[in-house]
Structure 1
Amino acid sequence: MELLHNAVRPYAWGSRTAIAELLGKPVPAPHPEAELWMGAHPGGPSRLVDADGDERSLLDELAADPDGQLGPALAARWGGRLPFLLKVLAADEPLSLQAHPSAEQAAEGYAREEAAGIPRDAKNRNYPDPTAKPELICALTEFHALAGFADPERTIRLLRGLDAPGLAHYTELLAGQPDSDGLRALFTTWITLPQQALDQLLPQLLDSCVRQVKERGEFDLECRTVLELGEAYPGDAGVLAAVLLNRIVLHPGEAIYLPAGNPHAYLRGTGIEILANSDNVLRCGLTPKHVDVPELLRVLDFSYGRMPVQRGDEVTPHHFVYPTPAAEFELSRLEWASDDAPVRIDHPGPQVLICIDGAVTLRRADGVELPLRRGESAWLAAADPAVDVVPTSLPASVFRATAGVDSSSN
């Protein structure tokens, strides 16, 4: 087990306070800090810090000893790659509206674009790698998001309540087929509207949302979101698409799982995100970047309903797991309020731990210890023995990333 030194990604939508404060650095940071990466992504791999303070790339360590670092089964299953990436995500502004492909879609799309000779770093490239990218986001602060298509009947009530002349035709289009096919038809229509039509329709939508916000009715939060997005992304079809999605507010410790095809956009807040180690993104809007509409429609899942919110299943005292069907990852939370009983953790594969609150010590049976203060993280290789996580400053909270429970199966 070794301390990690992690990369911070300075995307424009990031926070100048959240990650800096977590890491104990000066606040505000000199520029937005959007994501803290813990893992072996080629774009920003973590570095292992030994007892003398010397650092080695985790990516290089995996290449040199995949069986020892990942375990033989995991190394064989994932081709020597660490299958997950753990992040602290801090959003002060909305991210793009996007979806991710399934494993089959990613493999097929990657092969197709390779055969077409599209450079992997090209702006119009959809599949820079052949792998799926499921995600789970767990709130550290109040966290706001759009995710999954809302029940069409609720969307029809919202659109009728807005009562904008230009929306009437589209409202009745969905009302005539209030199901997944109707959502597909309306989403496709809106995402392909000519810019001239968008420039006529969006101001009507925004004016109607202003009236709704003044009345503070049933859809106050949805209308506020449309107004925020309309200001941030004027003339963008994604502002219309946002009307079709669930507007979600997560409280600390709550999480949502985003499977393949799920349209989503993180709006603001700080959270722990765990995802498959992939860069495959199909954008739907709220971005100046490339939007490949035909490919997006091939990937999107138009099923609808409320997004299930997880609070973590307590598997042992102080140990809560967020179960998902993803083979690439599993996220769990270790939490102590006053009781300082240690938690034994073991796993046949690698583990990443980050201390979010308080302080803990990782203690092996042979007496080797590694203290973690708030903001510090650790790597446990597959070959490492089990450790006890002992809280040393209460309250304490640690998030733990591992491969999924069936990750080593074929």
Structure 2
Amino acid sequence: MQKLTNTVRDYAWGSPTGIPEILGREPDGTPAAELWIGAHPGAPSGVEDTDLREWIARDPHTRLGAGSVDVYGERLPFLLKILSARTALSIQAHPSRGQAQAGYAREDAAGVPVDAPHRNYRDTWHKPELIHALGDFDALCGFRPLPAIRATVERLRAAASPADRPLLEAWLTALTPSGGQDDEAVALRAATDLVLGRAAEYGPLADRLAALDLPGVGADHPCRQGSAVDPQDTLREVTADFPGDAGTLVALMLRRLRLRAGESLALDAGVLHAYLGGLGVEIMASSDNVLRGGLTSKHIDLAELDAVVVYDSVEPQRAAPDARGVVRGATDDFALQRIDSAADLPIARSGAAILLCTAGGFTVRSGEESTELAGGDSVFVGADEPLPHVTGTGQLFVATTGLPAPA
């Protein structure tokens, strides 16, 4: 077992309190957005005299397991994080593995440097994700049904100034089903392209719409379908942090979810999403491939986003734990087990594992070796090491590659 030292990322959207509280540190006002635990080259965890990425590279078949290397190469296929958001993250989607491989090769052939700000594909991997809420956690995930989006725009049009109505009429026209094949997908794509493609007009419009004094509506109103809150509340929240950003109107078209503590949300390739706020443990495939569509100052490539996004109104995938407390994402790149209380309990793992304590205290034993974990502590257990057993109470998370479902 290798005790890890991890990096806190200070992105501007981060909360100054959530991660320091887990780590037992006094908040100093600096945003603490993410704690990275893993071997991602952007901020690999420290171990012994080096970092986890280099340490794995010294003996990948032993430390990851031959089966993992055969599928994922000589790399830890997942990245574990604590995520603490004060404001919204960018609206984004991730490519499938095939799209990532093709996009990476295409940009390489075009001579785009891997670290160029306008590069879309920085590696050849997909990036499915799973977020497990440690408290109330708000997210936008996938598109709402077309009738709900239309009802929202119609409500705004009724209250908007005459000067703003032509833009809203154009938006409604894009959202109108034509009766053809893939009707919903065509309309959702057209509406997204309209708003983002004419950002100079729709960005300022979003600010004016957010300022409208609309009467509240009940949960049974047509515009509320697919949204845990009044969509106007979502618009006000995101425009307060991203004034003039047309992506705030895309946010109105997305499903608004509220996860409660202990609930999880899984995201596959092509799902347009944005986390709005809250504290959670996140696990994802280790990749940097992100296509953004708004709520950001970073590069937006609308054509490439169009090629990646799945334009449908399918319900988001809420991931329920199995009998062992294991939740799975949309792929086998990772699985996450939560343990609240244990007495010499064997963990569920496939290959290498990372154990992270977010509250309380646990003893981890692997063969004759043992270590203590308190809030914020983490440990890497190689595939060649004896199966770890844990004892303690609090919150312990075990990250590993995909696991077979229990019989």
- TM-score under structure 2 length normalisation: 0.90
Partners of 1:202 and 1:349 in 2: CA distance: 48
Output one character per residue of 1:94-126: Cα deviation in whole Å (capped at 9) or x when no partner. 111111100000000000111111111111100
- Who is 1:358 aligned against? 360
Distance 1:272 1:36 in 2: 9
Supply the RMSD in Å over aligned alpha carbons.
1.9
Contact 2:355 2:396 in 1 (8 A): yes
Q: Write the mapping of 1:61-100 to structure 2, written as runs, cut at 5 A.
A: 61-100=55-94
Alignment-mate amino acid for residue 22 of structure 2: L
Q: 1:248 to 1:120 in 2, by over 3 A?
A: same
Unaligned segments of structure 1, at least 5 residues: 50-54
Identity, % of aligned positions: 40
Give the corresponding residue for 2:131. Answer: 137
In the other structure, the counterpart of 2:206 is 202
Summarize the alignment of residues 271-290 of structure 1 with structure 2, pairs less than 5 Å apart.
Answer: 271-290=280-299
Are residue 259 (structure 1) and residue 272 (structure 2) matched? no
Alignment check: 8 A CA contact 2:267 2:317 kept? no
The change in CA–CA distance for 1:145 and 1:346 in structure 2 (over 3 A counts) is: closer
The one-letter amino acid paired with 2:140 is: L
Q: Does 1:180 align with 2:185?
A: yes
Does 1:399 pair with 2:402? Answer: no
Label 1:76 to 1:16 Cα distance change in 2 as closer, same or farther (>3 A). same
Contact 2:199 2:245 in 1 (8 A): no
CA distance in 1, matches of 2:266, 2:278: 17
Tell me how far apart the structure 2 counterparts of residues 159 and 332 of structure 1 sit (CA, whole Å). 41
Structure 2 counterpart SS, 1:342: strand
Mean alpha-carbon deviation: is it higher for 159-168 or for 145-154?
159-168
Q: TM-score, normalised by structure 1?
A: 0.89
1:264-286 Cα shifts (integer Å, max 9, x gaps): 11111111110111001101011
2:46 corresponds to 1:47: yes
Aligned-partner Cα distance in 1 for 2:234–2:344: 43
Q: 1:2 touches 1:48 (CA, 8 Å); kept in 2?
A: yes
Partner of 1:342: 344
Match of 1:250 among 250, 259, 283: 259
- Residue identity matched to 2:399: A
Name the SS of the counterpart of 1:341 in structure 2: strand
Check whether the contact 1:346–1:385 (CA below 8 A) recurs between aligned residues: no
Query: 1:37 maps to which residue?
Result: 36
Aligned partner of 1:171 in structure 2 is 172
Could you report, residue by residue, the CA deviation over 1:9-52 in whole angstroms, capped at 9, with x for unpaired residues? 111111111111111111x2341111101100111111225xxx
- Judged with a 3 Å threshold, the aligned counterparts in structure 2 of structure 1 residues 206 and 377 are, in CA distance, closer, same or farther, namely same
* Cα distance per residue 1:328-376 (max 9 Å; x no partner): 111121122xxx533212534100011122111112343x211111211
Aligned to 2:310: 301
1:369 corresponding residue in structure 2: 370
Q: Which residue of 2 aligns with 1:52?
A: none
CA distance in 2, matches of 1:188, 1:323: 32
Change in CA separation of 1:260 and 1:68 when aligned onto 2, cut-off 3 Å:
same
1: CA distance, partners of 2:130 / 2:122 = 21
- d(CA) in 1 for partners of 2:259 and 2:133? 6
2:334 alignment partner, one of 306, 329, 332: 329
CA contact (8 A) 1:313 1:321 kept: yes
- Paired amino acid for 1:405: L
Do residues 238 (structure 1) and 265 (structure 2) align?
A: no
Pairwise CA distance, 1:202: 2.2
**CA-CA distance at 1:379 after TM superposition:** 0.6
The answer (yes or no) to whether the contact 2:79–2:283 under 8 Å persists in 1 is: yes
2:116 pairs with 1:114:
no
Residue 397 of structure 1: CA displacement?
A: 1.5
